[in-house]
Amino acid sequence: MQSSLKKSLYLGLAALSFAGVAAVSTTASAKSYATAGAYTTLKTDATKRNVEATGTNALYTKPGTVKGAKVVASKATMAKLASSKKSADYFRAYGVKTTNRGSVYYRVVSMDGKYRGYVYGGKSDTAFAGGIKSADTTTTATTPTKTAGYYLKDASKNTLWTAPKNTQYKASKVSLYGAKSTDTFKVDSAATKTREGSLYYHVTDVNAPSVSGWIYAGKGYDATATTQDLGGLSLTMSDAAATSDNSIKIVYRDASTKAQVSTATWITSATNTKAGDTSTTDQTNASGAKLSEFITNSKPSGYALANTAVTTGTYGSTVYVDVNAQATSKVQFTVSGKPNNTVDGSEVALTTTPALANGDVLTSKSLTVTGFDSSLLTNAKGGTIADKTLDSIATALGKATITGTTAYYDANGTAYHYVYTLNNTESLFKNNNTGSVYGSTLKASVTAQLVKTTSGSTSSDSSWIG
């Protein structure tokens, strides 16, 4: 009986304890919201309030712990914005609220205006923390050695901005009112967009200093380059807008089918020309190109002019220029006979495998060719390569330097490579390729001579090698 009493008492106490725990749990689960203090507008320099998400906190319509706060951008979305390569996904902080628990929430907006709300910013309203951190949206770049003499290439495509686009909130296009197509611009600073890495120059119109701003500069000015990629800038004056009074349209068409291949428009820099007037042979466009020069320079890639370039035309009309499709043949080099491994009068035993052997085919990855005029390999697509031209190709190959890039070693670790020479005579090359057409692969037999490597292999454009 005592045992039963003990068991009943134990069960009763257990039930009582369970009820007590349940009551405590129910009380503890009741939602306890924070309250937010007054909104304060941030007054520091706006450009110093650029921030980026850290991905640790979501963006809310209100401070996140305040009743009624809704998610604008989830933690996962903020993490994507944190790792984004787009400047549009930076934020500008412009206001702050602090809760009664001491948590600071910053009011932010993304640079493209897509996201706006509150994000947890740590415990201090004087430093960004938590879900955001300070961001340098641009990085200072080297100012080009050439700082003057630039023109706007096409303001409709790459115009001036108050700041590189999306690197500052509400960066906007600069009015070009007062600027002329003949105006030159000077560069005073350069910067890259931190996330995209694109280069911008800050330029000012020399004739109208009020016209000033940032413009995409492509790869930037290169004093050693023969051609320049300057984005929205140019080193030559841009053409005026084409009208029937100042332009002649060129239509390039296939010489055989007369089908249109491409078009271009030449715009004269001469003034007071009218539709119906005939251009003169000395008139040029803004870059200084005469009509005939422009036609030659603007021909479609992979084509050659089939007739003599036109020298004059009628303003407002169309000039038709016939072109022929071009093709470039490749040259396949094949090793003939056993490679000569005699260096300095003695045979070199190579440890490198596989060793070069008779019949091996060489490719552009295994050799370089210098001193060869590859234009000999290009002409009308499908046209037969004349025997005389084959002789010229063979002569040029015989004078070229054909150097192997594959390294071979002896037992002592000394490096060697092969130098190749066109085999036998021009007649052999011609006999192997008679009847070939432009675009086909030509066969060239070469002998191989091992030489000791003293420096790195030469490099060249060998894209025509098979």
What are the sequence ranges of the domains in the chain?
A: 40-134, 137-238, 247-326, 329-452
Q: Determine the pLDDT at residue 426.
A: 67
Domain 137-238 classified CATH 3.40.50?
A: no
Q: Determine the pLDDT at residue 11.
A: 38
Q: Determine the pLDDT at residue 77.
A: 98
Contact 451, 418 (CB under 8 A): yes
The mean pLDDT value for 408-414 works out to 93
Which range is least confidently modeled, 14-23, 112-121, 419-428?
Answer: 14-23
Contact 68, 89 (CB under 8 A): no
Between CA 171 and CA 156 the distance in angstroms is: 17
214 Cβ neighbours under 8 A, 6+ residues apart: 160, 161, 162, 163, 164, 191, 200, 201, 202, 203
Q: Read off the pLDDT band of 237 (50, 70, 90).
A: confident
What pTM, to 2 d.p., does this model score? 0.55
Give the residue carrying structure tokens 């089939």. Answer: 306
What whole-number percentage of the chain has pLDDT above 90? 76
Contact 100, 35 (CB under 8 A): yes
C-alpha triplet 335, 394, 444: angle, nearest 5°: 25
Q: Read off the pLDDT band of 178 (50, 70, 90).
A: confident
The mean pLDDT value for 98-127 works out to 97
* Mean pLDDT score of the chain: 89
Q: Read off the pLDDT band of 188 (50, 70, 90).
A: very high
Q: Over the range 96-131, which residues count as b (16 or more CB within 10 Å of their CB) and which as e? A: bbbbeeebbbbbbbbbeeebbbbbbbbeeeeebbbb
